[in-house]
């Protein structure tokens, strides 16, 4: 060995940026991975899932991000809304998803009223991160800026969520498309900019008109994940039970991929391929 040549510990090796990265983490999706994809205008695939078995299949299919969503309250627990879901519920399912997957980035949902103050947000986000999440997600507009800044300052990555926010279904009067008039669209744009400025690393837009989602995606520097938000966002997310036709009633913006494929792995691979090519969602699965 030449004099002065560094010797790396067995489990570490320098990557192309000169950083030390554990060998078993070289293929893991990180926030930086997603930011790079946005800069290169490459789309990525997200799926909401809740257990180790599906988590493993999603990793094998090349799904970049798994969301352990509070949607489990409706898909797994049988509730009519996500409101009854607790932080312990999401932690339990996050543990399971983490055990089945070593490559995808895992986002844990903060349930109803677990982030009503910065202190609550820090306490409950800590539980999710310790359960295996790499990032937390919370629903709401610029009123969350203080909590997001507190989380970001403490090293906890944040995914914001605008548009249809299911935890507010009782306030919204049902599951309705948001941002259809000029005033509410402008307010959503301003909310998005404020949350990014506060430190949000990702943004979910749910059930908003395609043209509004496109505008927000172009104005934000962070990646934007759409669900019922058209094809011009940086990524797409679907609930695994919806995309496999297991749900008793799937939303308009979803697509049953198992209907067109011979197996679950093939259906998941087809979804990833269509998202990355921009083939999904079509107008049929969007709101204009």
Active site residues: 206
The DSSP letter of residue 142 is G
Dihedral sign (CA 214, 135, 116, 90):
positive
State the DSSP string of 157-196.
-EEEEEES-GGGHHHHTSS-----SHHHHHHHHHHHHHHH
Residue 139, annotated ligand binder?
A: yes
Distance CA 103, CA 84 (A): 30
- Quick one: tokens of 95? 């543990």
Residue 71, annotated ligand binder?
A: yes
Residue 70, annotated ligand binder?
A: yes
- Quick one: tokens of 265? 């792995």
Residue 137, annotated ligand binder?
A: yes
Distance CA 277, CA 288 (A): 21
Return binding residues for 3-methyl-2-oxobutanoate: 70-71, 109, 137
Residues making up the binding site? 70-71, 109, 137, 139
Binding region for Mg(2+): 70, 109, 139
């Amino acid at each position: 060995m030449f004099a002065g040549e560094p010797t790396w510990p067995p489990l570490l090796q320098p990557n192309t940026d000169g950083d030390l990265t554990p060998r078993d983490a070289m293929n893991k999706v990180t926030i930086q991975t997603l930011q790079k994809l946005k800069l290169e205008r490459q789309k990525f695939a997200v799926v909401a899932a809740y257990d180790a078995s599906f988590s493993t299949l999603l990793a094998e299919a090349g799904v970049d991000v798994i969301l352990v969503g509070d949607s489990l309250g409706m898909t797994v627990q049988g509730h009519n809304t996500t409101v009854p879901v607790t932080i312990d519920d999401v932690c339990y399912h996050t543990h399971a998803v983490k055990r089945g997957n070593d490559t995808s980035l895992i986002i844990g949902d903060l349930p109803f009223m677990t982030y009503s103050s910065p202190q609550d947000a820090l306490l409950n986000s800590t539980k999710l991160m310790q359960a295996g999440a790499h990032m937390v997600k919370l629903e709401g507009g610029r009123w969350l800026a203080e909590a997001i800044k507190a989380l970001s300052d403490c090293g906890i990555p944040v995914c914001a969520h605008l548009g249809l926010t299911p935890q507010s279904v009782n306030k919204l009067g049902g599951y309705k498309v948001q941002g259809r008039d000029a005033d509410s669209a402008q307010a959503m744009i301003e909310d998005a900019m404020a949350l990014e400025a506060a430190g949000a690393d990702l943004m979910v837009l749910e059930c908003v008109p395609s043209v509004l989602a496109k505008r927000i995606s172009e104005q934000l520097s962070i990646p934007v994940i759409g669900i019922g938000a058209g094809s011009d966002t940086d990524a797409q997310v679907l609930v695994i039970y919806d995309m496999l036709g297991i749900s008793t009633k799937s939303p308009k913006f979803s697509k049953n991929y198992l209907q067109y494929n011979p197996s679950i792995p093939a259906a998941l691979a087809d979804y990833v391929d269509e998202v990355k090519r921009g083939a999904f969602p079509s107008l049929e699965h969007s709101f204009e």
